[in-house]
Amino acid sequence: MENTYKNFELSKMDSTENCQLTKVAETEDDVYVNTLQLFPVPKTRPVSTSFNYKIIISALALLMLGALTSLCAVVILYHNKVLFTEKLSEKYENVTATLTVLEHKAKETAQLYDMLKVKHQQVHDRLSACSANQKCTLCEKPLGLKCYYVSTEKLSWTQSRDYCVEKGGHLVIITSQAEQDFVSSQIKETHWIGLNDLETEGEWMWVNNQPLNETSVTFWYDEGPHEPDNWKVQDPSGENCAALGDENGNTHKWFDASCHKLKKCICEK
């Protein structure tokens, strides 16, 4: 009996413990449920595929925008470079044209200087020959500041040139219509003058090395056969010296003749 009671007590105690354990377990479950209700666990959403495409498309759009911006910058830089090159080329052409004009003016100035130098020398020679305190040795036939002397003997052109130098002057240089008329009036036959093209055929020079085309006056014979004609029948070397008048008595015009011919000459100083 006593054992039976003990077993019942033990069984009761076991039941009571089990019941308490069950309640404790239930109580813990309730606490967990309540905790979940108070602090719900955030739900994780699956990553959308369309969202990934949007990110890729946005990135590509940004890259294309950057490339377009870079291309625009390159186009602008190239356009500016082309404009700068064109302006630089235009300025270069303008500078080149200006330099060409200045070079041409410099050449003209140099030619004018040489001409004035020759004129100055001529004036100086005239003043020295016919100054107020000096009687010209060649003033047999004066005209203005020039003094002329007509030879009486016949010489070749080169001999006549040296003859005038020995007299203190040179073969006459005719630079005006008045001088041409005056000198022509003093002679009745052909005379050598200080004009020749011995160095270069067709380039007539005075004995002071002044080109004929710089004196702006010429009196070549132009009736019938025009002079100079460089006739080579009598002299194969041609006619390279000029004379006032010819063998036919035309004393008012110039004729080219062989420098070896003997003629009288007109000197001036």
Q: How far apart are CA 95 and CA 91, in angstroms?
A: 6
CATH number, position 217: 3.10.100.10
Average pLDDT over residues 222-249: 90
Residues 146 and 264 grouped into a single domain: yes
Write out pLDDT tens, residues 100-137: 888 888 888 888 888 887 767 766 665 555 454 444 44
Residues 157 and 224 grouped into a single domain: yes
**According to the model, what pLDDT value does residue 95 have?**
86
**According to the model, what pLDDT value does residue 70 have?**
86
Q: What is the number of structural domains in the chain? A: 2
Radius of gyration, alpha carbons of the chain:
62
Confirm whether 76 is domain-assigned.
Answer: no
The H or E element containing residue 206 is: strand 205-206
Range(s) of the domain holding residue 89:
85-129
Residues 166 and 256 grouped into a single domain: yes
Residues 259 and 161 grouped into a single domain: yes
Strand partners, 267: 149, 171
Residues 178 and 223 grouped into a single domain: yes
| Residue 117 token pair | 């130098």
∠ CA 45-48-53, nearest 5°, is 155
- Say which range, 10-14, 50-54, 257-261, has the weakest mean pLDDT: 10-14
Write out pLDDT tens, residues 71-110: 888 889 888 888 888 888 888 888 888 888 888 888 888 8
209 backbone φψ class: left, alpha, beta (φ>0; ψ -120 to 50): left
